[in-house]
Amino acid sequence: MDDAMEAQVQPRCRDCRVVMRDRPGGWLCPACGWVIPVDQSIVVPVFTGPSIWGG
């Protein structure tokens, strides 16, 4: 996948290639148990369109 949606795709396990499941603090492979930890952070939204006030 080489488009803008690629960053939003659920990750796959490096060994099994199974789609990983969400879990608190990261993702978990249901087949082999491999975990990808994710740091807790606040994602700041970036708005690039025109404002409602014309600016």
Residue 9 token pair: 């795709």
pTM equals 0.56
Query: pLDDT for 32-47, tens place per residue?
Result: 999 988 886 667 778 7
Output the furthest CA–CA distance in the chain (Å, rounded). 53
Query: pLDDT for 4-16, tens place per residue?
Result: 666 677 889 999 9
Average pLDDT over residues 8-25: 88
Residue in 2, 9, 46 with CA at minimum distance from that of residue 27: 9
Q: Whole-angstrom Cα distance, residue 7 to residue 32?
A: 23
